[in-house]
Structure 1
């Protein structure tokens, strides 16, 4: 035993390069699995040394946890193994290690995050913010408010987390009230990300245009850098509120525009029926060498649909698949079905539905059936009706049941009309105004 103790300083000296190099390798690992493998290799190589004599052990643990946190849920099973090792070797007393473990649990297992937070001996502000973000993300707002109120040294991350929690769970009024409270206190200044959160969360607020102007004015007054997210959010929200001139002004002032800025303008123009202008924007984007995204094509096809540009829509759908290699998503198919069906080309619209590579959803079928009703064609709608009735339909979607009942009446199928009405009564369906595919599409966030 004494010989081993005499050898430890020499071993530590000889291993110092490996210690630091292995920690750096874990930090730059290309995947969570690689980071975890490097961490295990590191432990096997250093069995002769106690963890406390390794100055890089806590750093290696933090880097490994960060790698796992940034990945999908497929690596979540690794977290308990790391937790056990950290607990066994008393590394959780290091606040950076315990906070990294808390962050990993908060993303993959919030219940375990709750238990761990109560056990951390000396949590700091970063630890509290990590737990606050977890509570807000999972919708436990009452617990989040209690923790937020208990944080004495709140920073911009604390306020942002609580505001975002309100916004993401439909409590925009609370979020705006908290933001005003922060501004009145005056100790914390909002950053661009907080303004983006406010804009993104208030799409359902009636005074969206005034909110955009207020946030825009604040950013200008305080010389805030118009980063990619803030510029995109302002362009998108101004466009959604119908203030296309202001959206264009913001767009023109962005020094290095990327595809998200162009897409925001195209979607905004499409939403308000400016199909030709949206296409012109798209063509200019291509001329400048910008590669469109799948969302760009959603906006472009939406523009063609809103303006009845059938040939253009078909051309852009072909370009998206054949020239840019994008796999059509439900939104692209839905636009094409809506475009053709509204123009009375029901056979072509139905052909798209039959040949879709993914299962058509209720929104696509509703768009098609509404066009069948408009053009008084029950025969082509009949097969679609039976498919829709076999799907799970929300009790709030009374308009869809009414549409199906009207189509059966159009075909003289009165027994089926009675069946649908009875089904509505059984499911306590509320007869509220329905929305078209394009209306649903217009709410899609960039």
Structure 2
């Protein structure tokens, strides 16, 4: 699916499914609300109204289900009707799976996505994950034809009118960011050289660069959608390789914060550059909100699972905002324990300010790893610090997901001029509060 163009249109138009294969997607009770007059032109002459109604009657999603309407040219698929409180109402992960398994083959294909207005952003980002950009399969290189998937949203419930042009443009920008981040992570290390750097604007390592890739994709999309606050993107990049200048056990480094670190684990290298990054954001950029995102610990997948990133923050408000943003955009998030007075002692060193890895791996290692980063701006720092560990959800099997792009766009959506990002954002000020915030600090900064 690497050579696939993804288009979002207010109306995909009518076509014989034998010429343009079709996948209809949505929760079952939403699919029942689609009038036959809307899908008739996309299904006839192959599918009658009676067959369409019969197919809907046979669907029994548990958690998903699908039914072919005409050979392998037209399929209707149902998402879970209900999800738990820690899942996204859009059922984004199931949506990606259904597209990968149920979308008929063809050079020109169509997806009719049936959902509520509140789920359109998460659904679009989930669709984007089904079409990765990178491949080196020999068959793909011989296939010169450009394949296109056209996506039309049919909105049900409140605000069920036609999708606005501005909304479609936002979906294009966001999904381009998701696919860009996934492509960077999928690209093998031997191709991420200086020449490729000029084309992609971001070098990195396979999977381990998932945090930086997400920052790049989100930064690009945020700027294109009219971010109106002061935003900086700082990339903390390093090549984890053996060499004459490589870090060795028992080395002591002086970091940018002025604190010294004794190396007791050479595989805990990412936190060293991240510590310098947040110090730079604090001291040189004067940021009052610092968010770092990284594939930091393997323990994250144990702590919060394969689908939920872990969030660690000094702000209860921003912890709740990250969880809410995740549910709205499909990039799910769950909190870690924030308790530096109990956990930071894991880094105690006899000869330096701290070690770079914990003494006890059974004592909340993902929380501790985040606290190592925070210690370089100080636990008494008055600003907002948010740490997102996305080690597990950055990939699904052997493919990257582009995780983090949608989350950041949603989290900072109220600082955008885009109506859709404002809709999915959990943060913001009422006009009077915003004036007061600006009055306190006219150069309010956000850093990712």
TM-score, scaled to structure 2: 0.29
The structure whose RCO (Cα within 8 Å, separation 6+) is larger is: 2
The structure carrying a bigger helix percent of its residues is: 1
State which structure, 1 or 2, has the greater radius of gyration over its C-alpha atoms.
Answer: 1
